[in-house]
Structure formats: C-alpha cells, structure tokens
Structure 1
Amino acid sequence: MVTTERLIDAVWGDDPPSSARAQIQICVSRLRRALADLCLPDVISTVAPGYLMLVEQDQLDVHVSERLTAFSRQAASAGRQAEAAEAMRAALALWHGEPLTGIDSELVKPARIHLSERRLSMIEERVAYELGLGRERELVEELLTLTGEHPLRERLWAQLMTALCLLGRRSEALEAYRRAREVLVMELGLEPGEELRRLQKSILNGQSEPVEPVASEPAYAEEAPPAPQCLPPSVSDFLDHAQLVDQLSGELGHCSADQLRDLRVVAISGMGGIGKTALALQVAHNLAAEFPDGQLFADLDGTGAHPLAPRQVLERFLRALGVAATAMPASLSECADTFRGLVAGRKILILLDDAADEAQVLPLFPGTASCAVLVTSRGRLAGLPGVRQAYLSLLTTAQSVSMLTAMIGDERARAEPAQMP
C-alpha cells in the first residue's frame, strides 16, 4: 500500500499544489482505465489511506527481467556463453526508454538512477558475453553509440577498444583510448583506470588480442546457487499452538502452479516474550521440506538499541547463497536486486525475526511467488504487501499448564499440583 501523501511527495516533492490530492485521484483513474483497456481491470485498489497494486508474478517487466538476468549469470557461470548472451538480450528487450522520466522529486530520483545503472550494467555484461563468442564485428557500432551516450563508463570504452583490436583496427582502438582519457580528465580530473591503461599498453606492444574478453565475475562459483539451511533449532518445549501452527503452515506451504501468483507473507505479532519466535520456528521447520532450495533466517533485533540494517541482512543472505565477498554489491538497492535475482523461481523460505517496522523488512522480500516469508514483530505490520496477520495473545490457563509441564516434566507437575497455575 502506498499512501496518497507519499504519491504527492513523489510527484511534487516539497511544493505540492493545493489540488494535489485531486490530481492524484485523476491520475489513478486514468491508470485504471488504461489497464482496463489491456484487460487488467482490477490491478489498482483503493486501500485507506492510499492505493494498492496487485500484480501477478509475470506482469511486471522488472521482475521478469530479474529472473532472466539471474538465469543469464547462472549460464555464464557454467560456461554457456551463448545462453547467457541470449537470456541477457531478452532481459534488456523488456526495457523501453528511460525509466520514470518527467518527475524529478527527491523521492523518485534515486529510483531512476538505480534503474538506469542496472540497465547499463546488464548491457556491459551482455557485451562481454558476446565478445567471448567472437561477435566483435556486430558490436563495434553499438559500442561507439554507447560510449557517446555514456562517456564516463570506462568498461564500455574498454570493450570498444577490445572489439576494435580484435578486428585488427589498432589505430582506432588507440584513438578510442585517447577520447576516453580526454573526457575523464576534463569531466572528473582523473586518469583512466588500470584496465584501460593495460589495454593501451598491450595494443602499443603489438598484441592482436590485448585482453581475454570475459564477462563480469559471476556472483557465485557453482552452476546453481547453494541451498542454505539457516534455521535455528525449533524449541521443543514450545506451548501448544497446534491449530495455529497448522493454519500458518497451510498458508505458507504447498501451492499449485495456478495459486503461485502473489508472494506469500505471514506476519506474527504480539507482546514481548509471548512466544512469537518459537511459533515461527515451529512453522518454519514444519515447512522445510516444501522449500527444498533453502531456508534463510535473520534476527533483525528490531526491539534492540541497534536494529539490523536491511543491507546487513541482505549481505548475510547473499553470502549464504554463495556470493563471494569480492562480488558483494555496493549499495542496498544493488544487494536487493542481486538477492531477488538469485532466489527468482526457487522455493526458499525466509524467516525474519523481531522486525522493527515495514521499512526494515520490505527490502528483504524476494520478487517471486515461489518463495514465502515469515515475519515476527511486536507491532502489526499492516503495510506489507499481501500479508496475512496472526496475533499471538496471552496464554490461557490450559496453555500455561501445558508449557510448564513440558518444561519441568510430568512427574514433578503431578508431585506439586499446588504450584501449578
């Protein structure tokens, strides 16, 4: 759910017109009509105090692009360069023009920069795969255009120099280096980086193939990411909530292909010490067999003095999924993209314990409905998309007796009945 106030901030920033709310309503109405024309009449719902968009797994190009990118990287890691290039081309074909144009608020600008950076990185990876396949002749014209549009991207210059040199056009490769150096010095006051300097030196030394054209370092070494098993042990003396355990297990567990449309999220809330973590662990262990691609766990320490930052959690998850420290993404958004790419289409259960609020949790969500998320928090996390709420209330007398008996044993409980609740 996105509030109307947040939409106003996204469109106008700190200086909205007095008619902002009415204009947002008009825009949403137009969006609904446009989607209805595409046979998608019920995508946007009004949910106080704002709006909610309900989309199926393959209705957002960005999610499809993430899955194709993840497949491309897996193929490249396994040495299947042609498949990697084809998948990355398919992922890039889903991009149409610059994203989020016409809006320049501080809320939207970071997302636009992030999406543009993601697309450029995908292009560089695809070019690297195709250089490895000997397609330098087809790439030269494209790389000339790309370096003109993005003159500060040193990797694009390096790829252009490599393609030209592989075609025997060494003088043009050296001219490309001169242009790259000129723009870097003029715009940034920096000399070219090591890769460009090494390329220039090898060309000057007369090497016909100055560099082995390889793709980006794969995020993981295996043909497929590992299946992490990160759940702590279940609590054996947990109070008897068998009915609730069965209910939550059913909501998160096995679904047919037709039912895998929305991400499955269950949020367990209740006062401190009531047993939320124990309940969540029991549910998670019950479901482990239904998520054979792995189970991830993080104690978010939301009620502590220093709650865990989403990026810290994502880095832990990425390491568990086989990402090398040297390949760790630089920003939160890049970590989230890599994480969603690695879990795309896989059956993974994610348990997030002791969440502070929705903002701490949302970056940790996968982008695929094959995964499921279990969250515990003292407060209700009503802003999470598709969340099913489970509130853990105070123990009944019968539950208290059952829990105490499990802890101290039947013999002692029978021997000291006066001390029981």
Structure 2
Amino acid sequence: MRRVLVAGAGPVGLTAALALARGGVPVTVLEAGSELAAESRASTFHPPTLEMLAELEVLDELLARGLVARTFQYRDRSGGPIASLDMDVLSGDTPYPFRVQCEQSKLTPILLDHLRRHGGEVLFGREVRSLAVHADEVTATTAGDTFTGDWLIGADGAHSAVRHALGIPFEGLTYPERFLVASADEDLEPLLPGIELINYVFDPAEWLVLLRTPDHWRVLLPTPSDTPDAAELARLPARLRAIADPGRDWKVAHASIYRVHQRIAARFRHGRVLLAGDAAHVNNPLGGLGMNSGIHDAVAVATALLADDDDALDAAASRRREVALNHVRPMSHGTWEKLRSADPAAHHAELRNLAADPHAARTHLLRACLISSLRETA
C-alpha cells in the first residue's frame, strides 16, 4: 500500500493513523486546525478502548495523566445518592474493569508523538476542500495543495468536509435543548457528600452530569434552545450554586454551549473513502460513547486496511454502522430520557436492584461500556 490519507487529527484520526503506521503503512494526516485541539471535549475512556490503546502501546501514558474510576453513581438532585455501579463485575471480561477520566486533549499529543516515531506525518492548516475518488486512489485537495493516497479515512468531525464532499446523507434528530458544559476549579466532595468521579443526577426540571477530570470538575446542564448564549452564561453562576453552594460563585475555568444531535451517515464507506467517529455518527455525550465508539471505528477500519481485503473493509464499515445504530444511539438516548424523566423516582428501585445484583450489573455494564457491541458484531 503506497499511502493512506486521514482527514482530522482528533483522537479518532490519530488512532487510525497510528494503527496503520505501526503496521508499516505510510500515513499522512490532514488537519484543518493550526494545532491539536485544546478543548476538553470528551473525557471518559471505557474498558475496550483502554484495551485498544494498550495494543497501540500508548495506554501507560494515558493512565499516568488520568484518573481511574472503578465505580460511577446515580444521584437524585434533592435526595442524594441512589446507587453506585461497581465495574469490578467486569473483571472476567476485560483486564481494565474501570473507566479512565482524562480529557481527550491529553491523549492526542501522545498519539501524535507515537505516530511520528513510526514515520507518520501530520500536516496542520490543511482542511480538505474537495475529493476525487478513483478506482485505485483518492485525491484530496486543500487550500492550494493536493494529496493522493490509496485510501482516505474521513475522521474530520460532525461537520465533516469529507462526508459533505461525497454527498452522504447524515440523518437523525436535534435535541430540544442545548447542552452547557462548565469546567470548574472546585472541590465538590465536601459540598456533595458521597459524590464519585462520575455522577448522573436525576431531576425532571434540571438534570445534570458531574464528572471529575484531572484538572476540573465538569458540569453538564441542559439549556433552552432559543435563548441567547450570553444570557445563559450570565445565569450560570446561580445554576451552579443551586447544585452546591460554597458561599460564593464557583470558580469556572471555561464554559461553552452547543447543540446536540443524534445522526448517522447513510453509509460508512464510499469506494476508497471510509468514515469514522463523528464524521460517521454523532450522539449526545451522556455515557461517554462518542469518542469511544469513534476510536473503535478507527481500529476496525485500520485493521481492515492492513488486511488488504476489500470484503473485510465492507464488513468493517457495515459492523461499525450497526454499532452506531443499534448500540450507541439507544444507549445514549436512553440515558437522556431517564435523567429528564417526569417521575425520576420510578427509576430509583430499578437502579438499586441493578447495583445489588452482580449478574444484572455485569449485563448492563457490558452494554454501557461497549463491550457487547464489539462482541455482537465480531
């Protein structure tokens, strides 16, 4: 294989590129930005993702930068802890029965460093503008430059220029509320007794998610779809103090508001172009499935390319679309529906029973951590 082009230097694109480079394939990554993205974005790594990163020999560096979460908690906004799920029930299924809390911006420099060690190149400021897909090669044109490869992997995000250039439909829904994410320099443990590193908080009026990362507590809040961003950011201090009040406004490092979509590309392969990650499917961030399933896409596509088997590529694209459709979408959407339920107490007994039954907890976690998605589509 002469060369594979990868559009996008996020965790998905760089994972695919590193897997290919380690297999001896020349790789060029074309990244629209001037440098690696520094935003927090995704911050949870599930067990099968950790296994894949271990195979790429980058896991130890991620673990050194992250926090190991062996349990996660469901809470009620007014009543405190409901139940905690112990991921040790997965110890017979994975060598990593835990989640790692670490911003993706800490993983991408690790991947970039390893990719360069294996001879791969990343070119910044190279947004793909157009594609020409031929029977035996793909040509990608950026602003003033043209690149040719045997294959191209589109991992250039939800607004993928690669997907648009191919005219692939991206159907689905947009959620009725926007999501506001704030990163706070606070110690929440004394204010919310029993809080864990990962917390899903039920409330019919204002559900929320609290996640600990190495640098911050991240708070995810639903926000009306039709109000000005400035107005919502202005009322953020009061909303945070309503969660936990330290007697002053929270120290917020940064905050952003974004619309959330649940969409899947009509196909993940178009000739010699393959889609992966957000370029192929997007979902709400509840449960941390987006980046993880995207990394799984990357490994599946790279493995099929290394096999140099057209049927294997078709199968990989088909399997990964099946995962997005039948695993990621229902899991993330189901979590959203439960958190905002008009009767959250109806779920309390269910969750307590789940936490108390190791067999039921294992079955649930196999699906929630995407282990079953890999097994069922193997």
| TM-score normalised by structure 1 residue count | 0.20
Larger-gyration structure (1/2) = 1
Higher relative contact order (CA 8 A, sep 6+): 2
| TM-score normalised by structure 2 residue count | 0.21
- Higher percent of residues as strand: 2
- Higher percent of residues as helix: 1
